[in-house]
Amino acid sequence: MNAADPNEILDDEAALQLDANGNLRHLLTLKGLDKALLTDILDDAEGYLTAPGALPARSQSLAGRTVGNLFFEPSTRTRASFDLAGKRLGADVLNLDVNTSSRKKGESILDTIYTLQAMHVDVMVVRDASDGVPAYIARHVQPHVSILNAGESDVSHPTQGLLDVLTIRQHKGAFEDLNIAIVGDIRHSRVAMSATHALTTLGVGDLRLISPPILAPDADKVPGARIVDNLAEGIANADVVMALRIQRERIGNLDGIPGIDEYFANYGVSHDSMKLARPDAIIMHPGPMNRGIEIEGSLADGPQSVITQQVTNGVAVRMAVLDRVGKTMAAR
Ligand code: NCD
Residue 97 has pLDDT above 80, yes or no: yes
Domain that holds residue 13: 6-156+311-331
Q: What percentage of the chain reaches a pLDDT higher than 70?
A: 97
Residues 123 and 194 placed together within one structural domain of the fold: no
Q: Are residues 275 and 151 in the same domain?
A: no
pLDDT in tens, 125-146: 999 999 999 999 999 999 999 9
The string of pLDDT tens digits covering residues 221-279 is: 999 999 999 999 999 999 999 999 998 888 887 788 888 999 999 999 999 999 999 99
Give residue 233's pLDDT: 98
Q: Is the Cβ atom of 81 under 6 angstroms away from ligand 1?
A: no
Residue at 1 is within a domain: no
Inside any domain, residue 85: yes
Q: Among 76, 78, 249, which is best to mutate for testing ligand 1, by the most ligand atoms less than 8 A from CB?
A: 78
Q: Are residues 174 and 294 in the same domain?
A: yes
Per-residue confidence (pLDDT) for residue 332, from 0 to 100: 80
CA dihedral 278, 283, 284, 287 (to 10 degrees): 150
State the total domains in the chain. 2
In this structure, are residues 129 and 72 in contact, taking their beta carbons and an 8 Å threshold? Answer: yes
User: Are 302 and 162 in the same domain?
Assistant: yes
On whether both 35 and 136 belong to a single domain, the answer is yes
176 and 72 belong to one structural domain: no
Mark whether 171 and 279 lie in a shared domain: yes
How many beta carbons lie within 10 A of that of residue 325, not counting itself? Answer: 25
What CATH code is carried by the domain that includes residue 269? 3.40.50.1370
Maximal C-alpha separation, the chain: 56
Regarding whether 168 and 110 lie in a shared domain, the answer is no
Number of other residues whose CB lies within 10 A of the CB of residue 257: 15
Looking at the domain assignment, is residue 10 inside a domain? yes
Atom from ligand 1 closest to the CA of residue 247: 12
Query: What dihedral angle (degrees, nearest 10) is formed by the CA atoms of 291, 292, 294, 300?
Result: 50
Q: Is residue 218 part of a domain?
A: yes
Position 219, amino acid: A
Is 105 a domain residue?
Answer: yes
Same domain, 31 and 143: yes
pLDDT at 3: 42
What does the DSSP 8-state code read for residue 160?
A: H
Q: Are residues 121 and 73 in the same domain?
A: yes
Kindly tell me if the per-residue pLDDT of 94 is higher than 60.
Answer: yes
The alpha carbon of 17 and the centre of ligand 1 are apart by a number of angstroms equal to 22
Ligand 1 site, residue 250, Cβ cutoff 6 A? no
Distance 274 CA to ligand 1 centre (A): 23
Domain-embedded: residue 141: yes
In a domain, 23, yes or no: yes
Query: With a 6 A CB cut-off, is 245 part of the ligand 1 pocket?
Result: yes
In this structure, are residues 169 and 198 in contact, taking their beta carbons and an 8 Å threshold? no
Does residue 301 sit within a domain? yes
**20 and 118 co-located in one domain:** yes
On whether both 29 and 49 belong to a single domain, the answer is yes
Q: Is residue 78 lining ligand 1, measured as CB closer than 6 Å? A: yes
Answer whether residue 4 shows pLDDT above 50. Answer: no
What are the pLDDT digits (tens) for 55-87? 999 999 999 999 999 999 999 999 999 999 999
Concatenating the DSSP letter of every residue in 71-128 gives ESS--SHHHHHHHHHHHHTT-EEEE--GGGSGGGGT--HHHHHHHHHHTT--EEEEEE
Alpha-carbon span 117 to 14, nearest angstrom: 23
Beta bridge partners of 147: 124
